[in-house]
């Protein structure tokens, strides 16, 4: 089985490279943007023609949430046009597409976990382009899995955990918002789930394509997350909780973005760990 991965140098791409040796039956083809540029249809076609993948995991994305507000064309090019291009080539090669999406497709006004059936209402450019990318895929190629996730962190790439650890080495006091609620997602566990979906889909006689939520279990604020990061790393720092109003950003963040994982658990038998457990093991 050939699984082609775009965005190989990102968090999810590197996490997939990390776990790939555990799956000798899968031939992974890892492509960074130099090898496969998802905004270039001809480039995608030639790479697919060379490897003829059974599955494609799209881990390439424009993820600079605040920067997207001033670079909407760039976000659109990668998150919408790129997703559309991949869907078209996947359809041509009959390749199943797994696409990573985000909790930012929601406005965060709910008080209970978001399900796959909740109506999206993004509040910024990043969330809107990710939603438009989802919709482009849905229109073009039915053999897709869209995985919405949140607060992704790992030892790889740029993320909140690594930022907190870096700042703690430079300062003795930090302020972190405590009124945005969500769930951290361990990128390596997300990678494992993507492979599980591929393996289960290859075995199942029925097709379960569509949108799925995945994050770790539980919920916390960014302040709680930071506190636990320092606790796990035995770092003593003066950590102060602050409201979002004290930390204005160009893009509005969802106030509540906890995702309901019932569908992915029931469909694929996914075992989801609590975020604190995953963080301790990371």
Distance CA 98, CA 211 (A): 10
Burial level of 96, CB count in 10 A (0-12/13-18/19+)? buried
Could you give the dihedral angle defined by the CA atoms of residues 258, 220, 191 and 267, in that order, rounded to the nearest 10 degrees? -40
Distance CA 264, CA 112 (A): 18
Of 51, 126, 212, 223, which one is the catalytic site residue? 126
Does the annotation count 223 as an active-site position? Answer: no
Of the candidates 234, 229, 15, 211, which has an alpha carbon nearest to the alpha carbon of residue 120? Answer: 211
Distance CA 101, CA 108 (A): 16
- Tokens 């930012």 identify what position? 104
Max distance between CA atoms of the chain, in angstroms, equals: 56
Could you give the dihedral angle defined by the CA atoms of residues 175, 180, 184 and 190, in that order, rounded to the nearest 10 degrees? -130
Q: Which residues are annotated as catalytic?
A: 126
């Amino acid at each position: 089985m050939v699984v082609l991965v775009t965005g190989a140098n990102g968090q999810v791409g590197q996490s997939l490279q990390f776990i790939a040796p555990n799956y000798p039956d899968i031939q992974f083809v890892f492509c960074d943007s130099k090898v496969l540029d998802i905004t270039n249809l001809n480039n995608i076609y030639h790479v697919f023609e060379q490897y003829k993948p059974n599955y494609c995991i799209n881990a390439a994305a424009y993820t600079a949430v605040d920067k997207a507000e001033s670079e909407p064309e760039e976000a659109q090019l990668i998150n919408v046009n790129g997703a559309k291009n991949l869907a078209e080539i996947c359809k041509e090669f009959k390749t199943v597409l797994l696409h990573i999406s985000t909790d930012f497709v929601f406005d965060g006004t709910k008080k209970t976990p978001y399900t796959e059936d909740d109506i999206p209402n993004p509040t910024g450019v990043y969330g809107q382009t990710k939603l438009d990318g989802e919709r482009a895929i849905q229109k073009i190629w039915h053999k897709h899995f869209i995985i919405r996730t949140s607060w992704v962190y790992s030892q790889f790439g740029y993320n909140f955990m690594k930022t907190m650890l870096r700042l703690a080495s430079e300062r003795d006091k930090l302020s972190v918002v405590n009124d945005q609620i969500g769930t951290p997602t361990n990128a390596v566990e997300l990678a494992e789930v993507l492979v599980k979906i591929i393996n289960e889909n290859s075995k199942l006689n029925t097709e379960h394509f569509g949108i799925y939520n995945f994050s770790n279990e539980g919920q916390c604020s960014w302040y709680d997350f930071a506190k636990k990061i320092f606790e796990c790393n035995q770092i003593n720092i003066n950590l102060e909780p602050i409201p979002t109003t004290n930390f204005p950003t160009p893009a509005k963040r969802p106030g509540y973005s906890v995702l309901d994982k019932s569908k992915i658990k029931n469909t694929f038998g996914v075992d989801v760990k609590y975020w604190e457990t995953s963080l301790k093991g990371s």
